[in-house]
Each structure stands twice: as structure tokens, then as C-alpha cells.
């Protein structure tokens, strides 16, 4: 039996030291010490031995058990260390790696233009007013001296919601709404906002675009004040060397009316931007029509004023040299990221 036990010990040590993982080692532990394990079987046989043999064999089995348990423990520790190292390697985290930067947002180029224009007028004492985009026919047309059947309604291809409500075709209705609110105080407002027209989308037209309206109403306001304010704005926005030109025009809500041109960067040499004219049209304006003042219950004998309105997209196109209005709405990151501050 001693020889048998020695053979078992030799084989068990070989197997234990050859184990390559903790589960393999556990299997070997069961093979030798489990309920039906090799060493366990020998312990059970002790009862069948004679009284002289029993202590001798019992001692041999105990020695074998102690030895194998020691070898199992040592191998178990070795494997645990190797496995832990492998786990660390697998899960290694480089805490010094620079993180992924979230992409920073920035204002849309149209917002940049609106902000810049608004700031210029705030500096001249104007304040910002707003009005609804879904507007009553009364404010969009009637109160601005554009009665039903007036040919000027055709200039604005409108999107009606009901017979009486439409998506505003310009920011001018805010003139009336603000005058109603502030009456009889003076008015000095700038109105940035979105407007809607049944225009087909092309390089210079969009069915949804932005305008900035201006309105100043007080006593003794003249056409000269309009020219002065617009000249300050244009030189600040386009450059100190720019000239301003007023051409006669027509709007039902201003009298007299004018279209305002700014001299081109080519300084009259003629270029593609100004179509070789040396001038670029940027806004419509005029003295507030007495009928419009009266509609908002300002006495035209006492009060006078001026108003102007400009298309933000067209001004942004001039400022940034953009040749197609559609770039503003397509949200192409390659385009938008050029306006990152």
C-alpha cells in the first residue's frame, strides 16, 4: 500500500503542478479529496485493515493528504496571481489619456449677424421688441395701410392659416403692436424675427427667412434722422469708408419711401457682388405714413417717425461672401463650423 500511495502522490503532484487555471485545479482537488476522491477512498478502506496496520497506513494517508494540500495551496496561489495579473492587463485603464472633447456649440451665422446688428442699434438707444409669427391680417396688412385688394398684397405671397390669420410676411406688424402698447410714449425699437412667404427656394430666396425691422416715433423726427441713423449703422457694420445712397421707392406704410444702397467693397470699380453697379441694396425704409400713425392712435400732426426693414440672409451673404442662401438651412457642419468664434 505504501508503494501505491507513493505512486498516487507522484501522479497527483505532477497533475497539480501542470494545472493551468483555478477551475482545473479545483477539478484536481475533487479528484483526490472529493467524496469519491482517490485519497478519500483510501481513508475509507482504513476500517478494513488490521489493528496493527491501521495506524501505520492512517499516518501515511495523513502525510499524503497534508503534502498534497500544501502543493494544491501553493499552486492555487501561483495561479491566482497569474490570473489577477492577466485581468489587470485586460482591464488596464490609462488614466492619463486625454479625454474626448465634446464638440462645442456656437451661434448660427444668421444669429451672429442678428446679434451684431442688434448691438449696433442698442448702442444708439433702440431696444428689442418681438411679435407673433402667426399674425392677424389686420396687423400684417390693414394697419400698415395695405387694405384688401391693395396691389401691394401681391408683393407678399402670403401663407394664410385661416381667412384672418397668416404667417407674417414681414416684421412690420410689430410696428403697430408696439405703438399700441407704448402710446403716447416715443418708440425706438429694433425687431429681429422670422418671416414667411410663398417664395420658391432658390439661391437668393427662401420661403422662411429673417428680417430686422426698425421704428422710431417721436416729435420732430425727420427724414434726415433716418439717413443719419442708417449711415451710422452701415458704417459700423460694413466699414467706415462706405457710402450710403437713398433711392426713391414705394411701401404703402412709409411716405416718402426709399431703398437704401451701400457702396460696394470694389469702390465703384464694378464686381460680381454688385453686378458691376458699384452699389448693393440692403434695406427698405421711409417716414412712417400718417395713416399708420393714426391707426396706432398717434396724432400725425404731433408725431412723426421713420421705419426700415432689412433681410438678414441677404446681409449675411454680403458679409461672408456666400453665394447661395440654402447654405444657411442645410446644417452642413463643414459650412457651419467656419463661423466658430
**Cβ-closest position to ligand FA5:** 311
Question: In this complex, which beta carbon is closest to ligand FA5, that of residue 145 or of residue 172?
Answer: 172
Q: How far is CA 200 from the centre of its chain?
A: 27
Question: In this complex, which beta carbon is closest to ligand FA5, that of residue 42 or of residue 209?
Answer: 209
Residue from the set 114, 286, 289, 328 that interacts with ligand FA5 by CB under 6 A? 286
Q: Report which of 237, 225, 217, 234 is spatially closest to residue 298, judged by C-alpha positions.
A: 217
109 touches 316 (CB < 8 A): yes
Question: In this complex, which beta carbon is closest to ligand FA5, that of residue 32 or of residue 328?
Answer: 328
**In whole angstroms, how close is the CB of 210 to ligand FA5 at the nearest point?**
8
Question: In this complex, which beta carbon is closest to ligand FA5, that of residue 13 or of residue 294?
Answer: 294
Q: Where are the extended beta strands (E) located within the chain?
A: 127-128, 134-136, 159-160, 165-167, 187-196, 208-219, 244-251, 254-263, 279-288, 303-311
Q: How far apart are CA 44 and CA 38, in angstroms?
A: 10
Scanning residues 148 to 207, which ones bind ligand FA5 (CB under 6 A)?
Answer: 170, 172, 197, 199, 205-206
Residue from the set 42, 139, 237, 308 that interacts with ligand FA5 by CB under 6 A? 308
Q: Is 307 exposed, middle or buried (0-12, 13-18, 19+ CB in 10 A)?
A: buried
218 touches 305 (CB < 8 A): yes
**In whole angstroms, how close is the CB of 292 to ligand FA5 at the nearest point?**
10
Q: How far apart are the first and last CA of the chain?
A: 90
β-strand 159-160 against 187-196: which pairing, if any? unpaired
Q: Is residue 211 at the binding interface for ligand FA5, with CB under 6 A as the rule?
A: yes
Which x/- pattern, by CB under 6 A, does the window 66-105 give for ligand FA5?
Answer: ----------------------------------------
Question: In this complex, which beta carbon is closest to ligand FA5, that of residue 121 or of residue 308?
Answer: 308
Q: How many residues bind ligand FA5 (CB under 6 A)?
A: 20
Residue from the set 139, 209, 237, 303 that interacts with ligand FA5 by CB under 6 A? 209
User: Residue 215, Cβ neighbours under 10 Å: how many?
Assistant: 25
**In whole angstroms, how close is the CB of 99 to ligand FA5 at the nearest point?**
42
List of residues 6+ apart from 14 with CB closer than 8 A: none
Binding segment for ligand FA5 (CB under 6 A), chosen from 113-121, 237-245, 260-268, 308-316, is: 308-316
Q: Is 291 exposed, middle or buried (0-12, 13-18, 19+ CB in 10 A)?
A: middle
**Residue 46 has which C-alpha cell?**
482504513
**In whole angstroms, how close is the CB of 316 to ligand FA5 at the nearest point?**
10
Q: Is residue 295 at the binding interface for ligand FA5, with CB under 6 A as the rule?
A: no
Binding segment for ligand FA5 (CB under 6 A), chosen from 38-46, 297-305, 310-318, 329-337, is: 310-318
Place of cell 446688428: 117
The Cα angle at residue 95 between residues 92 and 99, in degrees rounded to 5: 120
Residue from the set 254, 263, 287, 304 that interacts with ligand FA5 by CB under 6 A? 254
Residue from the set 109, 188, 309, 317 that interacts with ligand FA5 by CB under 6 A? 309
**Where do contacts with ligand FA5 occur on this chain (CB under 6 A)?**
170, 172, 197, 199, 205-206, 209, 211, 213, 251, 254, 284-286, 307-309, 311, 313-314
Amino acid at each position: 500500500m505504501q508503494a501505491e500511495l507513493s505512486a498516487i502522490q507522484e501522479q497527483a503532484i505532477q497533475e497539480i503542478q501542470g494545472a493551468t487555471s483555478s477551475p482545473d485545479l479545483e477539478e484536481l482537488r475533487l479528484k483526490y479529496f472529493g467524496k469519491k476522491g482517490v485519497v478519500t477512498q483510501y481513508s475509507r478502506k482504513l476500517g478494513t485493515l488490521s489493528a496493527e496496520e491501521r495506524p501505520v497506513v492512517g499516518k501515511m494517508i495523513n502525510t499524503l493528504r497534508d503534502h498534497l494540500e500544501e502543493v494544491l495551496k501553493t499552486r492555487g496561489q501561483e495561479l491566482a496571481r497569474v490570473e489577477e495579473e492577466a485581468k489587470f492587463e485586460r482591464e488596464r485603464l490609462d488614466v492619463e489619456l486625454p479625454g474626448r472633447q465634446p464638440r462645442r456649440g456656437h451661434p448660427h451665422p444668421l444669429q451672429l449677424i442678428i446679434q451684431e446688428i442688434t448691438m449696433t442699434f442698442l448702442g444708439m438707444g433702440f431696444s428689442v421688441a418681438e411679435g407673433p409669427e402667426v399674425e392677424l391680417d389686420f396687423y400684417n396688412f390693414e394697419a400698415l395701410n395695405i387694405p384688401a385688394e391693395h396691389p401691394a398684397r401681391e408683393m407678399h405671397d402670403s401663407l394664410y392659416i385661416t381667412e384672418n390669420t397668416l404667417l407674417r410676411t414681414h416684421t412690420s406688424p410689430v410696428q403697430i403692436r408696439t405703438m399700441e402698447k407704448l402710446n403716447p410714449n416715443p418708440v425706438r425699437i429694433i425687431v429681429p424675427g422670422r418671416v414667411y412667404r410663398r417664395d420658391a427656394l432658390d439661391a437668393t430666396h427662401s420661403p422662411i427667412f429673417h428680417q430686422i425691422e426698425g421704428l422710431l416715433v417721436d416729435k420732430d423726427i425727420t427724414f434726415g434722422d433716418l439717413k443719419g441713423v442708417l449711415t451710422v449703422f452701415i458704417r459700423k457694420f460694413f466699414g467706415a469708408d462706405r457710402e450710403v445712397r437713398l433711392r426713391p421707392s414705394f411701401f404703402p406704410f412709409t411716405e416718402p419711401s426709399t431703398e437704401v444702397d451701400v457702396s460696394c467693397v470694389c469702390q465703384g470699380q464694378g464686381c460680381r457682388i454688385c453686378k458691376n453697379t458699384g452699389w448693393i441694396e440692403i434695406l427698405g425704409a421711409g417716414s412712417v405714413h400718417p395713416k399708420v400713425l393714426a391707426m396706432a392712435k398717434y396724432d400725425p400732426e404731433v408725431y412723426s417717425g421713420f421705419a426700415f426693414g432689412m433681410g438678414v440672409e441677404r446681409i449675411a451673404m454680403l458679409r461672408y461672401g456666400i453665394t447661395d442662401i440654402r447654405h444657411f438651412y442645410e446644417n452642413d457642419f463643414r459650412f457651419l463650423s467656419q463661423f466658430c468664434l
